Structure 1
Amino acid sequence: MWWNTLGLALREIRRNLLRSFLTILGIVIGVAAVITMVTVGRGATQAVSDQITSLGTNLLMVRPGQRMGPGRDSAGSPPFRQADAEAIALQVAGVRAVAPQAATGAVAVFGARNWSTVVYGSTNAYFTTNNWTLAAGRLFEETELRAGAAVCVVGATVRRELFGTQDPVGARLRLRNISCEVVGLLQSKGQAAMGNDQDDVVVMPIATVQRRLTGNLNVGTLLVSMDDGVDTERVKADLARLLRERRKLAESDENNFNVLDTKQLAETLSSTTQVMTMLLGAVAAVSLLVGGIGIMNIMLVSVTERTREIGIRLAIGALGHEVLLQFLIEAVVLAALGGLVGIVIATAASLALTSVMGVPYVFDPGINLLSFAFAAAIGVVFGYFPARRAARLDPIEALRHE
């Protein structure tokens, strides 16, 4: 009986292909929209997580002032010194590396080309804390760090803008009045979570930047990389206690520095993008309900058109539940076909959008199966009323129908 009923349902769908296509269009759009929104949203979440991770493994960023970000009140807070980084490395347990960082903007010049970039002054610990790896060349030697030598390591963007495809290692570029030898090239990291280009960077020994570019011994940021598995809160507490002692703060004084945990930042941003993804998915799911209403309307029209056929079936012995099953299967098949077409369209749209947005494509079989099951369920829910109406027709009245 099931196969016979399914065959009758498919025959009716084939007889009205255009109407069947228009009927499932709402389901197709709804399923495609839900899957696309969720897939792209999860790709964005993954991209944010990867970009935050690229800043450094278990990284704490310590800066003067009580707040982070634009408008932070660092003007009245004393800067750090390189000795602060050395004290943290020696006295705080669980710390893998500490890098003092002094930053300034400068125009890099090579031959007839120039490029405005950011110059960071630091030690070799900078490359450890920021998860940098070398594509070519070497890091700084101890003698270069102590003497403040005019050497630098450049990022991929600086290499592209100044040197093109040429190997920059061994070449000399000019930063203001400094002729700097390029000793290393960094592997590309791409765009950071905040939108800045991580590869647009020139790294020099901190003594060189302080003496010849900034003109002071100030350290704007301390980058603290922690060992895997350590208690982050304990390290942050020990770090704060040490810095308060070194900055001579009384017990009643608030910290005049702030500590940003990049892991917490990653979790916050990821949870935010996940909430937005679920919100967009819920909005898109409304079109599935619209598609279900469309199926119900068309099935009601179909019942009206086939009243005499239903009357004949009932008159020759068909049971009411068999007629109900036939129309219910038609509705479910239409909804399921819409779900399958929507999945195909969603896959193509997700691949295209993630490619354009530059985020990874994260295939989730769960959301695909859930969307398909929800589409089929909509066929059951919205197809039941027309099917029940067909099953309850009076055979005599149905045969009289014109």
Structure 2
Amino acid sequence: MLVYLRLLKESLSFAINALRNNKLRTLLSLLGVTIGIFSIIAVLAAVDSLDRKISKDLSSLDKNTIYLMKYCFGPSEIPQWKREQFPNVKYDEYISLKNSLTNTDQVAYQFFVNKETIKYDSKTVSDVNIVPASNEIVEIEGLNVDNGRFYTESESNSGTAVIVLGYDIAEGLFGGSEPVGKSIRLYGQRFTVIGVIAKQGAGFFGDSNDTSVYIPTNFLRRMYGDNDAMTPVIVLKPVKGVDMDAYKAQVAQKLRAIRGMKAGEMDNFFINVLSGFTDFIDGILGQMNVVGWVISGFSLLVGGFGIANIMFVSVKERTNLIGIQKSLGAKNRFILFQFLFEAVILSVIGGIIGLLLVWGISLALTQLLDFEFVLSLGNILLGTGISAIIGLISGILPAISAANLDPVEAIRTGM
């Protein structure tokens, strides 16, 4: 054991001397490994960070949540011109489904509308994400009202002019003062603030609850009716453990019956399940991983050739020393391991440089973009392991050639 530890120490010393004595040659040789490890780990770290952010943003939502509307979240075989003829879901359909569906926890009615400006006295906040929704949305989205309360079923049904603010909106309008009970202006109307949602942080999909406000759907219906400029959606949250295929079939059957559709007639609505959307995102992230590995593979291949080249040069430069070591009784495996260790150490140095670059860029991007890029321990170990394997593979042939040298010929060659 002590022999191999001494061997490792000597190999490290040789590797460091090679770096010092041949700085430019070593730098160019390690550049491929550095770029390859940087590319792989940067892609993996970015994908891991995106995956964590998506999971965090969707953690309050049940993955079985259904968005029933005229649009599809993902690709569809139905032509676009046909989809554009689909009718919007109606408030009456929401009421009918709410009263007739089984195995359902919550059903909400919501509009997708344009961003608006909110005013309080002389203060104004622009580009506010407006979420007109019935009161059930607080349970479906798992909203945490930190100050005050959410609007009730009675307020939702009557379309009372009440509003629940996101954290950033409340800070922008009121600063450190108490917002609950104050009146603000939206859509040219006065709304009474009844609650503030707890701070969430930046969302991967754009707006988070911090930059959103919630108002009763029926307030807008009372003002504008069922205007086509507002895209309605029925949000359904089934009970836990339900058979999703059977539940979707029940939803489709109920809505078809409400609309009086005939047997064999194509559905004129889409049942978008949140898990399907997350699977779609996971597929994109998986493709990013594959592309990253392919691109990085070429860099690692070049880096491997670079390591092999520098090791062959190292064997040639130290032929005389190898001959002396073997003449003094050094076994072939001692010479073999010496050069293998050196190749691995050189490659790992390149990998560590690549990891340090990823770490530094991750810190910078986290500060600049307010998005947490994570370089996990698993990715660090993976990067180190890959670089070690590249060094091992690249150093095999030079190490074998060094171990098989004839000591007399090696000494004579070096003289």
Q: Which amino acid aligns with 2:56?
A: D
Asked whether 1:238 is paired with 2:250, we answer yes
Q: Secondary structure at the match of 2:190?
A: strand
Structure 1 segments unaligned to the other structure (5+ residues): none
Q: Which amino acid aligns with 1:288?
A: L
Tell me, in whole angstroms, the C-alpha distance in 2 between the residues paired with 1:146 and 1:289.
65
Counterpart mapping for 1:3-402 below 5 A: 3-18=5-20, 19=22, 22=27, 23-54=29-60, 58-64=64-70, 67-68=72-73, 76-105=85-114, 106-114=116-124, 115-212=126-223, 214-216=224-226, 220-354=232-366, 356-362=368-374, 364-401=376-413, 402=415
CA contact (8 A) 2:164 2:195 kept: yes
After superposition, the C-alpha distances for 1:184-217 in whole angstroms (9 at most, x for unaligned) are 12234445444344443332223322112x2348
TM-aligned CA deviation for residue 146 of structure 1: 4.3
TM-aligned CA deviation for residue 272 of structure 1: 1.6
Residues 175, 369 of structure 1: alpha-carbon distance in 2 compared, 3 angstrom cutoff:
closer
CA contact (8 A) 1:52 1:192 kept: no
Residues 255, 35 of structure 1: alpha-carbon distance in 2 compared, 3 angstrom cutoff:
same
CA contact (8 A) 2:39 2:292 kept: no
Tell me, in whole angstroms, the C-alpha distance in 2 between the residues paired with 1:269 and 1:12.
48
Residues 72, 239 of structure 1: alpha-carbon distance in 2 compared, 3 angstrom cutoff:
farther
Q: Secondary structure at the match of 1:131?
A: coil
CA contact (8 A) 1:52 1:266 kept: no
RMSD between aligned residues: 3.0
TM-aligned CA deviation for residue 11 of structure 1: 3.4
Tell me, in whole angstroms, the C-alpha distance in 1 between the residues paired with 2:81 and 2:247.
23
Q: How many residues align?
A: 400
Q: Which amino acid aligns with 1:89?
A: K
Q: Secondary structure at the match of 2:336?
A: helix
After superposition, the C-alpha distances for 1:230-283 in whole angstroms (9 at most, x for unaligned) are 122221111111111111111132112111111211122023212212321342
Q: Secondary structure at the match of 2:191?
A: strand
**TM-score, normalising length: structure 1:** 0.86
Q: Which amino acid aligns with 1:280?
A: G
Q: Secondary structure at the match of 1:220?
A: strand
CA contact (8 A) 1:81 1:217 kept: no
Residues 61, 303 of structure 1: alpha-carbon distance in 2 compared, 3 angstrom cutoff:
same
**TM-score, normalising length: structure 2:** 0.84
Identity %: 28
Structure 2 segments unaligned to the other structure (5+ residues): none
Tell me, in whole angstroms, the C-alpha distance in 1 between the residues paired with 2:82 and 2:383.
49
